[in-house]
Amino acid sequence: MLSTFSQYWTGPISNTVIILGGIILLYPIVWRLSTKQISALIQALEIAKNLPETISKITSASEELAKINSEISNLDKKLETLNAINNQIIVINRNVSDLQKLNESQSPVLSQETLQPTAVANNELNNWEYVSKTWQSVKTKVEDLIDNLSDGRRRGKYGSMSRYNYIDVSKALVSDQVISEDQARALTRLDELFRRVKNQRVGVTNEMKNIFENDSKVILKI
């Protein structure tokens, strides 16, 4: 019977002992590898668990980005339209300004009563010619300052401003730090004085001429 037991169980027992011995020897290595694998598996499971939510967020973000891009495209089209309108306004105002210059450069029609063939009258006529030419130079200088603005949007707003008087223009130039407060006051004085005398060639005194001479220097030196 002992020989029978030995025949059937000696081999399995030996194998079991060998396996147990191997496990004991390799246990630290197996444990370390298993820990890393389990940690990686846990991380993978966490990622997999949150993956649908992440995909949903990415999808929502993509949809929002598409809407924003569409709105930007629409704004670009509107901006192009506004720029085109603004350019038309600038052209119209330039044409109006040219007409004003033409009108201002023409001598007014005088009645016989206003024609005074005296030294005083001749002096006033000369003063009017000086004032008219100086005002044209001042206006040209102001328009050049506007045209030289580097910012197209800042430059464009002047296109909608009237040139009948330069009050709004002078305020805007101060706001844009193109001219100083003193220069704006000089421009306003010149503007108001010229509108008073532009339709007359008599009555332009030496005092008025001096005001134009002094204030125009403040503007033309910018």
Write the pLDDT tens digit of every residue in 159-196. Answer: 888 888 899 999 999 999 999 999 999 999 999 999 88
Please give the pLDDT value at position 6.
46
CB 209 within 8 A of CB 181: no
Tell if the pTM clears 0.75, that is, is over it: no
Please give the pLDDT value at position 38.
57
In which band, very low, low, confident or very high, does the pLDDT at 95 lie, cut at 50, 70 and 90?
low
Which of 159, 138, 17 lies closest to 86, judged by CA?
Answer: 159
- 185, with CB counted inside 10 A (0-12, 13-18, 19+), is middle
User: Is 201 a member of any domain?
Assistant: yes
User: Is 14 a member of any domain?
Assistant: no
Q: Which residues form the domain of 193?
A: 107-220
Which of 139, 140, 111, 133 lies closest to 200, judged by CA?
Answer: 111
Helices (H), the chain: 2-105, 119-147, 152-157, 167-175, 181-197, 206-220
User: Is 50 a member of any domain?
Assistant: no
